Chain A
Amino acid sequence: MKFLQNPLVQRLVLLVVVYAILALTVPFFATSGNAYAVLEASALLGIVAAGLAVNMLTGELDLSVGSVAACAGLVAIMMSQHGIYIAVIAAVIPAVLYGMLQGYCIARLQISSLVFTLGTFIGVRGLAYVISDERTLTLALSNLSISMSLRERILIFSPFSLLMIGVLIIAGLLLRYTRVGREIFAIGGARKESRAAGVPQVRPLVISFATSAGLAALAGALASMRGGSAAPGGYETVLLGAVTAALIGGVSLYGGRGSMIGVFIGVLTLQFLLSGLQLLGAPNWAANLTTGLILLAFLGIDLAHGSSPVATALHRSRVRRRSSNTA
């Protein structure tokens, strides 16, 4: 039963249990239509969570992802008459540049990313209000085919949800098999030791913040075009959802631990629960309440595993017990 101690296996079991319970208790949950709906809802969250997970692996947290997604959505809608590809590129490239600059500043100044991104979180949200003139922008009628093409159903997938899975696979492979990927794990797991071992300190952070901003922009642009409208105040809860999904998937807030498979499992677990609530006709606030409770629960689990005082105390007591057994 050794494999049950693997955190990924534990989380997969949790996912299956959640699915099984909901499938048995909630009518219409275990239908292919609902599977499509869950994947569709996961697409936005999954892409944002992938970027945020890369960020969390370096031991940082980009609070500005929701604001970036809102800005990107607005830009994409504005550029939609030039076609979907131009619109997405126009939304993503500025975000990547912004993320690189942000990562560079944080790495060079050695400032807490929470503090720095709090300012950009507010500022970029303001930018969203400025570029939209405080109005909700909608897709022109002649461009509604973009929205249709993003929703098109292929078995239980849509182009958007397939893209989410693609992003997760590519990010996972890059993290695992490239030099920069290993550097990201290294500076997240042990910042001082990695520095002593000669791992560059700036480059991984620049890439990690560029990824979180770029993927947030990609998700925001596509989700806004799929929905046909973008509001400057939108995507406010996406940070909450993405952090929760990453934590469910075993990405640690203390850096250095986590995987893209975990993120996928986390996003699906969260969306299964939210979709179950929706099918039961629960009001809007229930989703908030559930996400918040899950976040705090998994924060507790992360506490017991990461490099927190609680984890150290637990580890010490385990070692003590073992040594007293052998004595």
Chain B
Amino acid sequence: MTETGYTPTPSKSPASSKVMRWVYIIGAFIVLAAIGGFFNRAFLTPENGLAILRAAAMSGMVAMGATFITLSGRFFSLALGQTAMFAGVLMAVLMSAGLPFGIAVVLTFAVIILLGALQGGIIAMGANPIVTTLGAGAILAGLAGLATGGKNVPIESAVVEWIGNGRIIGVPTQTWAFLFSVAVAWWVINKTRLGRETILMGANRATAEASGVNVALITILVFIIASIAAGMMGIFEAAQFNKARVMGFDAVDFNVIAAVLIGGTAIQGGRGSPLQSALGAVFIATVQNYMLLLAWSAGVRTVITGALIVVIVVGFHIAGKRKGA
């Protein structure tokens, strides 16, 4: 510790600093909401709140899975958007071939898990995760084109219709799925061996390996988890529009990575949590919703999202270095 302040401050306990962080995050939300509501009446309405949650739910769901990749120290995946698209297309194609919904979903997830395992396997051998998933994404886009000929595939099913547009106690199904995935991700990270090993591996891969963590297996598992999360989003997306679209998934990767990083999960791995990523997703959805209400253009919104990522990543990087010194 090289404290150079005038008054020697007692080192804070981890628990209290954790509480303080939550206070900061929630405080920032309240301030933002108050400012937003002051300048724009339409912002602080229950309908808009539900709309924000619904928008956050889609990328938030995927961010839950992507958090595992980042926590394990494998940076992030650039194939999540295409995985989502591919899942929707595969389900639609299987259903239009006459399979019932249940079997189609099971088969889709089987394929998605296999794809995630393949990517994880290549990366476990030491390949660059970004370039691997860039290639995998191109292949998935190609396969989706192969299956559909580049056209949207309609889905006709009452169950799918309900999954896409139903509400349980007034709250959209997507939001429930988001909350459910947050709970599952929190439980896995905090209460299971897999979660602890993931964090240990992200904090220090050499130590993890030396203490008997199967690094290759964890790498494969985190990519499977992320792929499942992306596949879930793809199916909800297809259900919402009653058709599997082959376009419009470009922004998924951006939003997911932004949610994870803005939530404060360290990009080097080892620090962070799914709850923070969930808050990050809600934060981004809130900011984007507000910019939409102000009728700012998509370009300005994208610039601000990119700038936020750079600022936050650099900020955490510098803060982390200072702590380590």
Contact check, A295 vs B131: say whether CB atoms are below 8 A apart: yes
How would residues 114 to 144 of chain B score, 1 for a CB under 8 Å from any chain A CB and 0 otherwise? Answer: 0000000010011110111011111111111
Q: Which of A134, A239, A296, A302 contacts B136 (CB 8 A)?
A: A296
How would residues 182 to 203 of chain B score, 1 for a CB under 8 Å from any chain A CB and 0 otherwise? Answer: 0000000000000000000000
B102 interface hit (Cβ, 8 Å): no
Contact check, A243 vs B317: say whether CB atoms are below 8 A apart: no
A170 interface hit (Cβ, 8 Å): no
Contact check, B310 vs A120: say whether CB atoms are below 8 A apart: yes
A122-B125 contact in complex given A232-B299, A284-B150, A285-B141, C-beta closer than 8 Å: no
Contact check, B125 vs A309: say whether CB atoms are below 8 A apart: yes
Contact check, B150 vs A292: say whether CB atoms are below 8 A apart: no
A134-B126 contact in complex given A109-B317, A122-B305, A126-B306, C-beta closer than 8 Å: no
Contact check, B138 vs A116: say whether CB atoms are below 8 A apart: no
Q: Which of A112, A123, A244, A291 has the most CB of B within 10 A?
A: A123
Cα of A236 to Cα of B249 in the assembled complex, Å: 13
Contact check, B75 vs A295: say whether CB atoms are below 8 A apart: no
How would residues 270 to 306 of chain A score, 1 for a CB under 8 Å from any chain B CB and 0 otherwise? Answer: 0000000000000111111111110110011011001
Q: Which residues of B contact A (CB under 8 A)?
A: 75-76, 122, 125-128, 130-132, 134-146, 149-150, 250, 254, 257-258, 267-268, 297-307, 309-310, 313-314, 317-318
Contact check, B131 vs A253: say whether CB atoms are below 8 A apart: yes
Cα of A120 to Cα of B75 in the assembled complex, Å: 16
A63 interface hit (Cβ, 8 Å): yes
A-B contact pairs, 11 of them (CB 8 A): A112-B268, A123-B305, A123-B309, A134-B298, A236-B250, A239-B134, A287-B142, A288-B138, A289-B139, A303-B125, A309-B125
Q: Which 10 A-B pairs have the closest CB atoms?
A: A285-B145, A289-B142, A123-B306, A129-B299, A126-B302, A308-B126, A292-B138, A126-B303, A122-B306, A119-B310
Cα of A232 to Cα of B300 in the assembled complex, Å: 13
Neighbouring B residues of A286 by C-beta, 8 Å? 142, 145-146
Neighbouring A residues of B304 by C-beta, 8 Å? 126
Shortest Cβ gap from B116 to chain A (Å): 15
A77 interface hit (Cβ, 8 Å): no
Contact check, A289 vs B257: say whether CB atoms are below 8 A apart: no
Residue of B nearest to A253 (CB): B128
Shortest Cβ gap from A78 to chain B (Å): 15
Q: Which residues of A contact B (CB under 8 A)?
A: 61, 63, 105, 109, 111-112, 114-116, 118-134, 232, 236-237, 239-240, 243-244, 253, 283-293, 295-296, 299-300, 302-303, 306, 308-311
Shortest Cβ gap from B137 to chain A (Å): 7
Contact check, A115 vs B267: say whether CB atoms are below 8 A apart: yes
Contact check, B314 vs A61: say whether CB atoms are below 8 A apart: no
Shortest Cβ gap from A188 to chain B (Å): 14
Contact check, B302 vs A240: say whether CB atoms are below 8 A apart: no
Residue of A nearest to B306 (CB): A123
Residue of B nearest to A67 (CB): B306
Neighbouring B residues of A111 by C-beta, 8 Å? 313-314, 317
Q: Which of B146, B254, B314 contacts A289 (CB 8 A)?
A: B146
Beyond A118-B76, A121-B306, list 6 extra A-B contacts (CB 8 Å).
A111-B313, A129-B303, A295-B131, A300-B122, A308-B125, A308-B127
Cα of A110 to Cα of B212 in the assembled complex, Å: 30
Cα of A6 to Cα of B257 in the assembled complex, Å: 40
A119-B299 contact in complex given A243-B131, A296-B136, C-beta closer than 8 Å: no
Cα of A284 to Cα of B145 in the assembled complex, Å: 8
Contact check, B306 vs A289: say whether CB atoms are below 8 A apart: no
Neighbouring B residues of A288 by C-beta, 8 Å? 138-139, 141-142, 145
Contact check, A119 vs B135: say whether CB atoms are below 8 A apart: no
Q: Which of A118, A123, A290 has the most CB of B within 10 A?
A: A118
Neighbouring A residues of B75 by C-beta, 8 Å? 112, 114-115
Q: Which of A61, A118, A291 contacts B138 (CB 8 A)?
A: A291
Shortest Cβ gap from A45 to chain B (Å): 14
Cα of A128 to Cα of B298 in the assembled complex, Å: 11
Q: Which of B126, B143, B301, B309 contacts A310 (CB 8 A)?
A: B126
Cα of A292 to Cα of B76 in the assembled complex, Å: 18
Neighbouring B residues of A129 by C-beta, 8 Å? 297-300, 302-303
Q: Which of A114, A119, A125 contacts B130 (CB 8 A)?
A: A114
Residue of B nearest to A247 (CB): B131
A289-B138 contact in complex given A126-B302, A130-B297, C-beta closer than 8 Å: yes
Q: Which of B298, B299, B309 contacts A118 (CB 8 A)?
A: B309
Neighbouring A residues of B310 by C-beta, 8 Å? 116, 119-120, 123
Contact check, B302 vs A292: say whether CB atoms are below 8 A apart: no
Shortest Cβ gap from A114 to chain B (Å): 5
Contact check, B313 vs A116: say whether CB atoms are below 8 A apart: yes
Q: Which of B126, B146, B297, B309 contacts A303 (CB 8 A)?
A: B126
